[in-house]
Structure 1
């Protein structure tokens, strides 16, 4: 099962490469990202998270038996990451900015005072926390490849 999920994660990553090029082209032509590109980027990002969850579950314990300490620390980082993702998105104050559909101002309020990429930092913390809670070698590898 882990092997199948790793193949799906590799396919998701492979499809993200042309997506990045198309998003760049889209943005340079229009000054914003089109709705299909926004949907594609959202699906890739959330698909990666769901795959990592599944891999962490089926590969749990591959780095050793999870303990209360590793589970608590992993849970803390996952919750902190989810909160950072939420704060990053809520700072936009308009959902159309979340996926680049509206680029009319530089956001410098909320968590954007401390980071230009709080959602990516949040995803890194979230995925790292899930990996730590499960003590899954493959989940850690995928988290590092995300970073």
Structure 2
């Protein structure tokens, strides 16, 4: 890890679907921001909540706990939940060690880049199918990991 990744979240609402794009390192300092963004997404009562991890470089157990709590809240609200595009080896390793990938909607037999259930004809590209609302929070990452 080079310690230069800036943390941020971006919530986009599209046609009854909430997509949270996350970037940077998720740790004890940044997981509360992720939690607030996920709660904001769930407050809109989407049919589906997707969390895109394409730009996440690191996730510790506090970040994993945030994801698992959001999944529980989503299930209680009747919202489907999926973690998508897990690219970073450190994040894949955490999900493998804890066996949390399938709980978060990842199909481990297909790798961590595919959702466990197909998205019934929807796309998760930003801005697709209408207008988007966005909220972004940034914090410079700590160095020296």
TM, length-normalised to structure 2: 0.27
Higher relative helix content: 1
Structure ID, larger Rg: 1
Higher relative strand content: 2
TM, length-normalised to structure 1: 0.27
